[in-house]
Amino acid sequence: MFGLKHAINGIIDLIKQERNAKFHTVSTVVVIYVGFRLGFTGSEWIWISLAVAGVWVAELFNSALERITDLVSPEQNELAKKAKDYAAGAVLMMAIWAIIVFLIIALPRLLLNLML
Ligand SMILES: Nc1ncnc2c1ncn2[C@@H]1O[C@H](COP(=O)(O)OP(=O)(O)OP(=O)(O)O)[C@@H](O)[C@H]1O
Give residue 67's pLDDT band: very low, low, confident or very high (50, 70, 90): very high
* Residue 101 CA, ligand 1 centroid: distance in Å: 28
Write the pLDDT tens digit of every residue in 1-21.
778 999 999 999 999 999 999
Section 68-81 average pLDDT: 97
Atom of ligand 1 nearest to the CA of 85: 29
User: What is the CB < 6 Å shell around ligand 1?
Assistant: 18, 20, 62, 66, 73, 76-77, 80-81, 84-85, 88
Q: Is 18 a catalytic residue?
A: no
Give residue 76's pLDDT band: very low, low, confident or very high (50, 70, 90): very high
Cα angle 74-78-79, degrees, rounded to a multiple of 5: 80
Write the pLDDT tens digit of every residue in 97-106.
999 999 999 9
* Residue 70 CA, ligand 1 centroid: distance in Å: 9
Statement: residue 115 has pLDDT above 90: no
Atom of ligand 1 nearest to the CA of 69: 1
Global pTM reads 0.92
Fold of 2-115: Helix Hairpins (1.10.287)
Query: How distant is the alpha carbon of residue 97 from its chain centre?
Result: 10
Chain mean pLDDT for the chain: 96
60, 11 contact by CB (below 8 A): yes
